[in-house]
Amino acid sequence: MKAERKDLWFLLIGFLVLIVGTYFVSKDVIVTETATVILTGVVLIWYAWETNQLRRETQRQTEIQLRPFVIFRFENEVFQVSNLGNGPALNVRIDDVRISKEDRAVIRFPEVVPVLLVHESIPFPGEYILQGNTVDSESSAMAHLNPRFASLRLPVQIHFNNVEMKSYTVKLVVSPGTIEIVGGN
């Protein structure tokens, strides 16, 4: 903030020096007025640019405060999605989680949650798919996504929209002992 004020004072003093300097160099009022108008235009353009930057930052901060933020967790022996944000999440879905490329083993979450309200958590059941066939929804392979039993680092991607249908993604990694948020937009 202080650096911005310093820049503003520097600009204003420079503006006054140029106007007074123009008058002393040319001794012509028309040249001085023209220089004043041009410099005023430059200051107005700079001010408009700064105001636009402020508007964009304000809009970004408002969006961040009102957006949904969905996470995946294992609680009460059930996989759940939870909306920790301050806006409802729409069309919540989770990408397939690949456990083994060789065995074509994945955990699939076939459901799409149409609405996940603010601070709401709901069960989100998954299926264990081995070589293209559903094995069991309660399979021990599902333990790969439970941090207490996980033996691998598995990426989980959650996709959802806000009420304006803007898309968001949260990237998590389930590993032994933890679920870590590693990215998103």
Report the domain count for the chain: 2
For residue 106, pLDDT over 80 is answered with: yes
CA-wise closest residue to 151 among 177, 176, 173, 128: 176
> 131 and 77 in one domain?
yes
pLDDT, tens digit, 9 for 90 and up, residues 17-53: 777 777 677 777 787 788 778 888 888 888 898 899 9
> 72 and 61 in one domain?
no
Boundary residue ending a domain (31, 65, 99) = 65
Provide the pLDDT for residue 90: 97
> 58 and 145 in one domain?
no
> 88 and 8 in one domain?
no
> 115 and 30 in one domain?
no
> 120 and 179 in one domain?
yes
Provide the pLDDT for residue 4: 63
Task: Collapse the DSSP code of 170 into the 3-class scheme (helix H, G, I; strand E, B; otherwise coil) and give the result.
Answer: strand
In the predicted model, what is the mean pLDDT of the chain? 86
Domain housing 153: 68-184
Residue scoring higher pLDDT (69 or 148): 69
> 176 and 85 in one domain?
yes
Provide the pLDDT for residue 109: 92
Q: Which of 72-81, 133-142, 176-185 has the lowest mean pLDDT?
A: 133-142
> 117 and 55 in one domain?
no
Give the pair of three-digit tokens for residue 81.
């999605």
8-state DSSP, 69: -
Residue scoring higher pLDDT (78 or 85): 85
Provide the pLDDT for residue 130: 86
> 41 and 84 in one domain?
no
78 contacts 99 by C-beta, under 8 angstroms? no
Q: What percent of the chain has pLDDT over 90?
A: 44
> 55 and 72 in one domain?
no
Provide the pLDDT for residue 100: 83
Residue whose structure tokens are 């993604």:
169
Whole-model pTM? 0.72
> 112 and 73 in one domain?
yes
Give the pair of three-digit tokens for residue 164.
């304006």
> 95 and 9 in one domain?
no
CA–CA dist 73, 177 (Å, integer): 12
171 contacts 159 by C-beta, under 8 angstroms? no
Boundary residue ending a domain (48, 65, 82) = 65
Q: What is the mean pLDDT of residues 47-64?
A: 90
